[in-house]
Amino acid sequence: MISSILTFLISTVFSLLISIFLLRAWMYWVRIHPFTPYARLINNITDWAVVPLRTILPTGTKIDSASLLMAFICAAVELLLMMSVSGLGFADGLLLRLPVVALLMTVKWALSLATWLCIFQAILSWINPMQPVMPVLNTLLAPLLDPIRRFMPRTGMIDFSPLVLILILQVLQIALASLMPF
Return per-residue pLDDT of the chain as tens, 182 residues: 888 999 999 999 999 999 999 999 999 999 999 999 999 999 999 999 999 999 998 877 889 999 999 999 999 999 999 988 877 666 667 778 889 999 999 999 999 999 999 999 999 998 998 999 999 999 999 999 999 999 988 787 888 999 999 999 999 999 999 988 76
Give the DSSP per-residue string, 30-66. TT--TTSHHHHHHHHHHHHHHHHHHTTSPP-SS--HH
Domain locations in the chain? 2-179
Nearest to 24 by CA among 71, 61, 74: 71
pTM of the shown model: 0.93
Burial of 118 (0-12, 13-18, 19+ CB in 10 A): buried
Q: How far apart are CA 137 and CA 155, in angstroms?
A: 22
Q: How far apart are CA 65 and CA 77, in angstroms?
A: 18
